[in-house]
Structure 1
Amino acid sequence: MDETEARWTADQVLGLAPDAASRTAGARLATRAPWSGAGASHDAVWGLCAGSGSRPYQTAVDLRGPAYACSCPSRKFPCKHALGLLLLWAGDEGAVAAGAVAPEWAEQWLAARREKAEAAATAPEEDEPAPGPSAADAARKRAERRAVRVEGGAAELEQRLTDLLRGGLAGAERAGYQQWDEMAARMVDAQAPGLASRVRTLGAAAAAGGDWPSRMLEETGLLHLLARGYLGRERLPRPLAETVRTRIGFTVDSAEVLAGPRIRGQWLVLAQYDTPDERLTTRRIWLHDTASGRFALLLSFGAAGRAPELTLPVGSVLDAELAYHPAAVPLRAVLGEVFATGTPDRTPPGTSVAAALDAYGTALADDPWLDAFPVVLADVVPLPGQDHWQVADATSAAAAPLTSPTPLWRLASISGGHPVTLFAEATPTGLHPLAAWPPQSPLPLPV
């Protein structure tokens, strides 16, 4: 089919609009003014449309579908830019270069579409008598479809972050939270809930006040690294690639984890606490095996307003098997068979503040998105300060800030000014204390 035969009418284009508002908005863009680099081949149309940002929106239409791609934040398909481009192509022959060569950004998308079409053409027809696909084949195909969607979301996010940094962080604050909520919704549509969560963190940083540019720049860097990591996951070491998948939002079934290697130990329950939000309650349970020095994090979830099912008494010792989720820094685990329970007979050995921070730094080198790293500190004294509490080594000058939503007077009362053993989560903003051992006591007390 040549270019003349492929050209559509305006009525055909407007018939693709998802609603009346899209038809009106698309018609406003059917002029030469906002468009640059517009071109068409026998099966595609593309162009750059000037918008409110510093960079034009990249819009392409595969005429064989039709299918649409646009870097704008709209959740409508086709969006107003795709409609405007098609209307321009249909009504103004000179505005769109016929027989042009697609630019790289459009050709990549079109090439992916062609590969899918070729794969579909070689697959057996649905009505052909053939053995039905196995559950494993169906799961594999679903995983492949999701991987493609996540790749698209990561690529779009990369473009958004580039626009953000080129336009300056001040523009991000002026734009308000709506743009982040919209971007997060796009990541949800791309089946990348981990990216969506970090995008919302960007919005919260912009609205938090204080030194928000530093926090936002840090979060932008981590988000960029995560998106790039997923797009280049084939080149990553296996443990790091698994970490990237987890941070993106891919999950592994507990039964699948338990089917892998298990580690048996005497697991001391260090701490247990819940984090609720409007959708669900997350319970975090930290375990520690003194013999191996391993930590393990058990996660349990409950619907909003309901407590998670898994509950382990703090201070108890489980003779049990655990299986770790694959990761660059293995921490999250699934509880397997429990053979016996008991109570501890001694305080777990701890480390110095300096050694704990070194261990946290090493873990961050392996997993930059690590939000909490477990540490047990020995012989430390909690001290209140003007801006924040801190914990100091009793035998050295090393100290680290403590972070907590409430004053840490309970911790101070457990210490009484004397050195204690402390379990805490190391975070980017400081140590989050969770349990402490009074002098000469083998049982931890929550703080």
Structure 2
Amino acid sequence: MTQQGVRWTADQVLALAPDAASRKAGSKLGAAGPWSEAGSSDEGTVWGLCKGSGSKPYQTVIDIADAAGPAYKCSCPSRKFPCKHALGLLLLWASGEGAVPPGGAPDWAEQWIEGRRQRTREKQTAGAAAAGAGAGAGDPEAARRRAERRAVRITAGATELEQRLADLLRGGLAGAEQAGYGMWEETAARMVDAQAPGLAARVRELGSIPSSGPGWPVRLLEECALVHLLDQGWLRRERLPDGLASTVRSRIGLPASADGSATRDRWLVLAQYDTADARLTTRRIWLHGTDSGRTALLLSYGAAGRAPELALPVGLELEAEVSPYPGTGQLRAALGEQFAPPAPSAARPPGVTTEQAAARYGEALRDDPWLDSVPVTLDRVIPAPDGNSWQLADAEGDSALPLTASAHSRPGLWRLVALSGGAPVKVFGECGHRGFTPLTAWPEGPGEAVRLC
């Protein structure tokens, strides 16, 4: 299979952009005007020279055939990956067969392409050698002692957090509003010292609730109950079933490896979106196995201000192995060996009604009470106003799901409304106690996936 026979859409290209500014700048470079000596190969590489502000044009080359997503090289000084020139060249390539004609790569492009593929071969050889060496190179006794010391610290932190929650409830929730955020940040820092980052994150969420709007005492009490449940789960983890104990360890923040049996499938990319804080950018990629029917979540990370390396635009399909992480009800997985580059696909996931989606979330809570939402595809729903907000209503039936507050603040809501035009659509998203967050939609008839996030 050659990449020249399979064209991406503009939406799939722009989904690679690290931010809105890059999408806007890259779109301006998606025409032939600023480009010269642009070319492509049957092996899945694209290159070109882009006119810039300097005397020399920028040299841009992209390896589209990389199984983990496209790789880029540009002589511009930008620290964004991909830069606007790489996005523009991809948009030009995606616009049609004649936009970037086939040909031989110039020396500067060929040198990078060959060097990259040589490094890939070396990594594969090194990985095979490491696997052959086995896990005996480490010191299992030292690892066991480190794990025991960390468990002691976490237990001390969970015990302290239980006392602080008890003090809060004993003094009344009004005290949380008067104390301000500093009290919660100090408690979160104590959880970081205890090596329990999951507890620290939940404590910071507690600190954002007081004075956050009508009904905040109820929301604070609910979240305190979930933190208490997680504390107690850790303190009594030896009494829990293995799967639930693994879930507790994951929620506390203990690292785990994907040790489940790998599933080889043709995985459809349902959604990709980033969340960021001051320290880290987290990318979530939802996959659907077209043969197995499984849903899997890939997580990748980038330092603050930088996009994570793994990029799989919505609507692509890749044949690969995926291995699950431990924990009852956990959907996180690791991407393993890939057998072909990602390529556009007409496949769509099967859908359910809004009632079935809500029931699916309720069932998932039995395995993971701290779960905010579950991935679900709604079939034949219509976006409809509901007072000052929006909901997704079943085309046949009387049930509906409200959209989350975050969905109302995204431009994707209007793309969804425009795609529907009052007609039923298929929508993939996350369904939880706050409502439904749409991430991708498909029209009722033939048509490409429309990214909403």
Tell me the equivalent position of 2:346: 345
CA distance in 1, matches of 2:306, 2:394: 40
What do residues 257-288 of structure 1 show as CA deviations (whole Å, max 9, x unaligned)? 2x541111111100101111110100000001
Amino acid at match of 1:147: A
Tell me the equivalent position of 2:149: 145
CA distance in 1, matches of 2:264, 2:410: 37
CA distance in 2, matches of 1:172, 1:345: 52
Tell me the equivalent position of 2:305: 305
- Among 384, 389, 414, which residue is 1:409 paired with? 414
SS at match of 1:199: helix
Any conservation in 2 of the 1:347–1:441 contact (CA below 8 Å)? no
Any conservation in 2 of the 1:347–1:443 contact (CA below 8 Å)? no
* 1:171 Cα deviation from its structure 2 partner: 1.1
Distance 1:440 1:187, change over 3 A: same
- Among 414, 417, 436, which residue is 1:431 paired with? 436
Any conservation in 1 of the 2:266–2:317 contact (CA below 8 Å)? yes
Any conservation in 2 of the 1:380–1:419 contact (CA below 8 Å)? yes
CA distance in 2, matches of 1:214, 1:387: 22
SS at match of 1:301: strand
Any conservation in 1 of the 2:428–2:441 contact (CA below 8 Å)? yes
Any conservation in 1 of the 2:247–2:326 contact (CA below 8 Å)? yes
Question: Is residue 2:200 matched to residue 1:166?
Answer: no
Tell me the equivalent position of 1:218: 222
* 1:210 Cα deviation from its structure 2 partner: 2.1
CA distance in 1, matches of 2:384, 2:376: 18
Tell me the equivalent position of 2:381: 380
CA distance in 1, matches of 2:138, 2:318: 39
Amino acid at match of 1:378: D
Question: Is residue 2:206 matched to residue 1:202?
Answer: yes
CA distance in 1, matches of 2:306, 2:269: 22
Any conservation in 2 of the 1:177–1:207 contact (CA below 8 Å)? no
Distance 1:169 1:413, change over 3 A: same
SS at match of 1:225: helix
Question: Is residue 2:235 matched to residue 1:246?
Answer: no
CA distance in 2, matches of 1:442, 1:370: 33
Any conservation in 2 of the 1:346–1:441 contact (CA below 8 Å)? no
TM-align CA RMSD: 1.5
* 1:134 Cα deviation from its structure 2 partner: 5.6
Amino acid at match of 2:224: T
* 1:385 Cα deviation from its structure 2 partner: 2.6
SS at match of 1:409: helix
CA distance in 2, matches of 1:139, 1:346: 45
TM-score (norm 1): 0.68
* 1:309 Cα deviation from its structure 2 partner: 0.3
Tell me the equivalent position of 1:40: none
CA distance in 1, matches of 2:446, 2:336: 29
Runs (5+) with no aligned partner, structure 1: 1-132
Q: Which runs of 4+ in 1 moved over 4 A?
A: none
Tell me the equivalent position of 2:393: 392
CA distance in 1, matches of 2:330, 2:193: 29
SS at match of 1:311: coil
Runs (5+) with no aligned partner, structure 2: 1-136
Amino acid at match of 2:442: W
CA distance in 1, matches of 2:224, 2:238: 23
* 1:172 Cα deviation from its structure 2 partner: 1.3
CA distance in 2, matches of 1:193, 1:354: 35
* 1:426 Cα deviation from its structure 2 partner: 1.1
Amino acid at match of 1:156: E
1:7-406 to structure 2, matched below 5 A, reads 135-253=139-257, 257=258, 259-340=259-340, 341-403=342-404, 404=407, 405-406=409-410
Any conservation in 1 of the 2:260–2:325 contact (CA below 8 Å)? no
Greater Cα shift, 377-386 or 145-154: 377-386
Distance 1:306 1:346, change over 3 A: closer
Greater Cα shift, 213-222 or 405-414: 405-414
Any conservation in 2 of the 1:347–1:442 contact (CA below 8 Å)? no
Distance 1:346 1:193, change over 3 A: closer
CA distance in 1, matches of 2:347, 2:368: 32
CA distance in 2, matches of 1:288, 1:346: 10
CA distance in 1, matches of 2:271, 2:427: 11
CA distance in 1, matches of 2:416, 2:354: 17
Any conservation in 1 of the 2:358–2:432 contact (CA below 8 Å)? no
SS at match of 1:308: coil
* 1:427 Cα deviation from its structure 2 partner: 2.4
CA distance in 2, matches of 1:400, 1:350: 14
Identity %: 59
Indicate the structure whose relative CO is greater, using CA pairs within 8 Å and at least 6 residues apart.
Answer: 2
What do residues 102-134 of structure 1 show as CA deviations (whole Å, max 9, x unaligned)? xxxxxxxxxxxxxxxxxxxxxxxxxxxxxxx96
CA distance in 2, matches of 1:385, 1:140: 55
SS at match of 1:389: strand
CA distance in 2, matches of 1:292, 1:271: 18
* 1:319 Cα deviation from its structure 2 partner: 1.2
SS at match of 2:230: helix
What do residues 201-257 of structure 1 show as CA deviations (whole Å, max 9, x unaligned)? 11101141321111101100000000000000000011110010010010124xxx2
Any conservation in 2 of the 1:421–1:438 contact (CA below 8 Å)? yes
CA distance in 1, matches of 2:211, 2:324: 37
What do residues 172-212 of structure 1 show as CA deviations (whole Å, max 9, x unaligned)? 11111111111111111101011011011111011413211
* 1:442 Cα deviation from its structure 2 partner: 5.4
Q: Which has the larger radius of gyration?
A: 1
Tell me the equivalent position of 2:3: none
* 1:141 Cα deviation from its structure 2 partner: 0.8
Question: Is residue 2:450 matched to residue 1:445?
Answer: yes
Amino acid at match of 1:300: S
CA distance in 2, matches of 1:274, 1:238: 31
CA distance in 2, matches of 1:266, 1:285: 15
TM-score (norm 2): 0.67
